[in-house]
Amino acid sequence: MKIPECGMSARDVLSSMRALKQRDADWRGGRIWSLVYFGGDDLLELAKEAYTMFFSENALSPIAFPSLRTFESEVVAMTADLLGGGPDAAGTMTSGGTESIFLAVKAARDLARVERPSITVPEMILPVTAHPAFEKAAHYLNVKPVHIPLAEDLRADPDAARAAVTDNTVLMVGSAPAYPFGLIDPIPELAAIALERGIPFHVDSCIGGFLLPWLAQLGYDIPPFDLRVPGVTSISADLHKYGFSAKGASTVIYRTASLLRHQFFAYTDWPGGLYGSPSVLGTRPGGAIAAAWAVMKYLGAEGYKRIAARIMESATRLKRGIEAIDGLRILGKPPMSVFAFTSDSIDIYALAEAMEARGWHLDRQQLPPSLHLMVTPAHERVVDSFLHDLAASAEAVRRSGVGAVSAVGAVYGMVACLQDRGPARDLILDFLEGTLKIEG
């Protein structure tokens, strides 16, 4: 496809875009259970206006745009306070959870290069439920991932973590919560091992960092997970998830500024001048930073707690309703609004297909086969209809006699037909290649 010789009118361009958008998932109506964190029209409109106000500004230069420096500094300070950071805590905003995780791994690796230069193959201890962003970071940064299994409660096994530590370990990781089952790893136990061995410990709270603290204040039983825990040296939390900001906004917070320093990149021999970058990106969109600041200031603690209460009320109703359906069960005891359910008697993927026929989009998971839900305020008004359709779909699948899991491979956010796990990697690569294929 070539750039058209003559441009289209703005009206026609936008009309074409609206037509294509009609095929997208209905996140406003609560028919999708991942990817979009919709907190309400007031938050959406505020974030849009704040983003577009700083649409062209570039946070690469805090000298040119001191407003963005103020926004980022205050967002980081508020986040650090929320997550138990003391007076020495420091951090940055990033483009998302993957970048936050990437930078935490880089900081730990580079710290080891300074303090333990004899390490030639740095290792990072990961529970099998840790987000694949850690695997991506390991791939890019030449850090060896060392996986540990889960205990019976589907959380990281501290005994396995202790056994996995070697002289090459430069980072240990826990999740609060881990995405697949919504369970919080035993952070105090894991962090104690790291502290004992003098190893940095990172908590991935990208999905929970802007919800768990409010739930604790509301009286929910939330175990310790953040910088208040001895041994935790860094934590990541996404503003564009339960912080309800615009996409492209996350944070990574360190216990001390000396740790943050290892995240930075500097180059002094370029003819264009001294080059310094606090994160992965060079150009840093000002809109995402401004929108995050605006939403946090607009909601305040009271607003966040009000939304958190609504979310958990819906999540609790959903969990109870799912458990009441014959053959379905929640995996583990998830303390917040992210969880998965499975079945020992019916094909869980066939159930997902039956729900899709009714207009519901559920993420499929594997190991074990399960369906995943992430609850937001958008789901408040659909709890009853969802549970009604789920019960009807489960009964329909049961009557069909499909009792074993079909030959379907779960892919993060989607599903793909697959006869065995052997070609899984090639399947993913083929999918990505097809998605990015040049048309025309």
Q: Over the stretch 70-105, which tens digit does the pLDDT of each residue have?
A: 999 999 999 999 999 999 999 999 999 999 999 999
CB 105 within 8 A of CB 137: yes
- Token pair 């935790």 is at which residue? 232
Q: What are the residues whose beta carbons fall under 8 Å from the beta carbon of 418, sequence distance 6 or more? A: 407, 408, 409, 424, 427
What average pLDDT score do residues 30-57 get?
Answer: 92
Helix (H) or strand (E) holding 317: helix 286-323
Domain 49-296 has CATH 3.40.50.150: no
Decide: 57 and 286 in contact? Cβ < 8 Å.
yes
Lowest pLDDT segment from 24-38, 156-170, 297-311, 359-373 = 24-38
- Rounded CA separation 327/87 (Å): 51
% of residues, the chain, pLDDT over 90 = 78
The pLDDT, as a whole number, for residue 424 is: 57
Coil, helix or strand at residue 422? coil
**Comparing C-alpha atoms, which of 161, 227, 230 is closest to residue 191?**
230
Write down the pLDDT at residue 419.
43
Is pLDDT at 434 greater than 60 in this prediction? no
For residue 426, is pLDDT > 70? Answer: no
Is the pLDDT at 22 greater than 80, yes or no? Answer: yes
CA distances from 253 to 7, 143, 154, 263, 342 (A): 45, 21, 27, 11, 35
Which tokens go with 294? 């605006």
The domain segmentation of the chain, as residue ranges, is: 49-296, 302-433
| Token pair in block for residue 38 | 């919709």
Q: 196-218, pLDDT tens digit by residue?
A: 999 999 999 999 999 999 999 99
CATH class of 302-433: alpha beta
- Identical fold for domains 49-296 and 302-433, yes or no, is no
Q: Is the pLDDT of residue 414 over 60?
A: no
DSSP state of 178: B
Q: What mean pLDDT is reported for the chain?
A: 91
pLDDT interval class at 295 (50, 70, 90): very high
Nearest to 289 by CA among 133, 123, 70, 19: 70
The mean pLDDT of 47-58, rounded to a whole number, is 93
Give which of 182, 174, 189 is closest to 127, Cα–Cα.
174
User: Radius of gyration of the chain from Cα atoms?
Assistant: 23
Q: What is the pLDDT of residues 326-379, one digit of tens each?
A: 999 999 999 999 999 999 999 999 999 999 999 999 999 998 999 999 999 999
The yes-or-no verdict on residue 428 having pLDDT over 80 is no
Is residue 224 within 8 A of residue 188, CB to CB? The reply is: yes
Phi first, then psi: give them for residue 250, nearest 5 degrees. -140, 175
Q: Where are the beta strands (DSSP E) in 89-185?
A: 90-94, 123-127, 144-148, 169-175
Q: What is the pLDDT of residues 214-270, one digit of tens each?
A: 999 999 999 999 999 999 999 999 999 999 999 999 999 999 999 999 999 988 899
Q: Which pair of structure tokens corresponds to residue 321? A: 């309703």
Phi-psi region of 30 (alpha: psi -120 to 50; beta: other; left: phi over 0): left
Nearest to 130 by CA among 94, 165, 105, 167: 105
Structure confidence at residue 438 (pLDDT)? 46
Q: CA distances (Å), 266 to each of 19, 92, 117, 140, in order?
A: 45, 16, 20, 18
